Structure 1
């Protein structure tokens, strides 16, 4: 990938991305092949090789490598598993991948330095946090074009949607806040102060709480969504980034970039109850839809760590592309 000149603001809040955006990388060829077995399909955005690795969630085998734009940083999958969306942070675009053919079928221009992406529960909209332009791009999955741009806080790094699709949560790393956006109107309805450098967030399955990883204060904020305030702060490892919650809501997993660990939080006790050693520079994290596995991208190891949620231990390490960042899991068998 080419050198990226606009990393100044991002470097202040995401130290681990700075080096990644300054180095060259190759482009791998696409691969089709058979559809993965039961266990879901795992997609990994490789920032330094400008590719997305396709991993069979059942076997742990890499079954494809898809060339995308410059500096792929985050990936999300539509609820039906048919569409995959990748933010290209150095190209200011989103690649739209057809999961069946494993090819890029559209490239959508968005804001400055798109950092994270998520898809609405009904599959109609894609939301992209643009860290350099302090806004969120809304993409229609039907037209594959931006339909709205919502101004939020300073340096938005994370996005998540409520289960009912009515509220978008945006982590503003530069502001130390979370913006609440009404998706129907694209208006900001509230701002909640959290820790320092919030970079990723995930709603609890019951919709009552929001968990936010704070990169520079080394903790996770627990937000009471009914009261609209931070209700607790849980210390974790060094530079927490990717975050996910199990479907039963009992545990939250957090990738600690600086500690080479994953912190496991008991939501009942609101404390870390286990720490799992993974590869170097863990940053992206995704939970399998059935809650059986947790997938963690190890940026400096060029690998994907697979954690068994029941045993709370690493059961597999999968070699992927260069500089893996974002991770997403498609439900079920994936498109055939």
Structure 2
């Protein structure tokens, strides 16, 4: 067996090069998390990777420089999504109808935001002091003032609101209606509905590029991405990708989208300039979320069945 061993956080982990480990060839580090890591976000301000551990109802905080676990936040109930901005981490406690607010440096709790039933996806616009939370059970989204920690509006967004994203360049939020194959656009200052756009079958997650206003929607049942112009409220393109595309992340500065084709265990790289697939490469199986660290040129992948975070060089960069 060929491989490279590395001590990390008191553990010795076998990294890339292990024979018979499909998709692990490019992995440069594996870091333990809590049980069933479901979401991962990277905070450039604190240089911290936050992982929502669905099975253990925790959030694991990992130092991006040393690649070691620096702390754990214990939640009241599970969180499947996270958002971070301006030194604050937001974690919905799914069965308790609130979002916990935590200091991204100390990991201490700052407060709790009352929202609707089964809070799910969420996105933050720090410049406007707004947080948008999709309430899966209610068919609504709650718009919250992050300064006062009080709700501003409850917005009907269709059945089964799932993924939520924010275009901070335009002050617009976008919420997927999973059961209606639509995306609703919301004004993040007032909570006013700006419009609704059709997407492909089985939309789950979506991400916005705040530099360009484009919004990428994963259509899991159509094996495609729908690209929306979130500022013109128009459909720009439909991009065929691999099987069951989910999850997705955006590298805004370079105009690239990275989407995991879950049933193929591959990663497709989308060029925003052409809205075409530039490259598809193998990755580890059971990736539940990913985030990009542009300065280091790496992707952070949550491996749900392995209870680990994998670090992989982003396509077009060197490890």
Q: TM-score, normalised by structure 1?
A: 0.76
TM-score normalised by structure 2 residue count = 0.80
Count of matched residue positions in the alignment of Structure 1 and Structure 2: 283
Whole-angstrom distance in 2 between the partners of 1:31 and 1:148: 39
Correspondences of 1:69-108 after superposition (within 5 Å): 69-80=34-45, 82-108=47-73
- How far did 1:297 drift? 2.2
In the TM superposition, what is the alpha-carbon distance from 1:246 to its structure 2 partner? Answer: 2.3
From 270, 278, 281, the counterpart of 1:315: 278
Identify the residue that residue 287 of structure 1 maps to in structure 2. 250
Q: Find out whether 1:173 has 2:136 as its counterpart.
A: yes
Partners of 1:316 and 1:111 lie apart in 2 by 41
Contact 1:136 1:151 in 2 (8 A): yes
Structure-to-structure mapping, 1:148-187, within 5 angstroms: 148-164=111-127, 166-187=129-150
Cα shift at 1:67 = 2.2
Could you tell me which of 77, 98, 106 is aligned with 1:135?
A: 98
Task: Describe the superposition over 1:206-258 as per-residue Cα deviations: whole angstroms up to 9, x where unpaired.
Answer: 34321111111111101133552222111101121221222333421111112
Q: Kindly provide the CA deviation profile for residues 38-92 of structure 1, in whole angstroms up to 9, marking residues without a partner as x.
A: xxxxxxxxxxxxxxx99xxxxx943322221111111111123710000001110
Q: Which residue of 1 aligns with 2:77?
A: 112
Structure label with greater radius of gyration:
2
Q: Which moved more, 1:83-92 or 1:108-117?
A: 108-117
Q: Residue 326 in 1 paired to residue 310 in 2?
A: no
Distance across 2 between alignment mates of 1:252 and 1:207 = 12
Instruction: Please provide the CA RMSD for this pair.
Output: 2.7
Aligned CA distance change for structure 1 residues 196 and 330 (closer, same or farther; 3 Å): same
Distance 2:153 2:190 in 1: 11
Residue correspondence of structure 1 range 183-202 to structure 2 within 5 A: 183-202=146-165
**Structure 1 equivalent of residue 173 of structure 2:** 210
Give 4+ residue runs of structure 1 displaced > 4 Å after superposition.
none
- Give the match's secondary structure for 1:115: coil
**Higher relative contact order (CA closer than 8 Å, sequence separation 6+):** 1
For residue 300 of structure 1, report the CA deviation from its aligned partner.
2.3
Deviations 1:132-158 (CA, angstroms, capped at 9, x unpaired): 322211121222233322221111111
Residue 127 of structure 1 deviates from its aligned partner by 0.5
Measured at CA, do residues 209 and 66 of structure 1 come closer, stay the same or move farther in structure 2, by a change above 3 Å? same
- TM-fit CA distance, 1:204: 2.2
Evaluate the alpha carbon distance shift between residue 304 and residue 235 of structure 1 in structure 2; reply closer, same or farther with a 3 A threshold.
same
Once residues 32 and 282 of structure 2 are traced to their aligned partners in structure 1, the CA distance between those partners, rounded to angstroms, is 17
Of 55, 61, 64, the residue aligned with 2:29 is 64
Pairing of 1:9-28 with structure 2 (within 5 A): none
The answer on whether the counterparts of 2:46 and 2:105 sit within 8 Å (CA) in structure 1 is no
* Greater share of residues in helix: 1
Q: Could you say what secondary structure the match of 2:263 adopts?
A: helix
Report the CA distance shift for 1:219/1:119 in structure 2 as closer, same or farther (over 3 A): same
* Equivalent-residue separation in structure 1 for 2:152 and 2:186 (angstroms): 16
More strand by share: 2
State how far apart, in whole Å, the 1-side matches of 2:232 and 2:88 are. 35
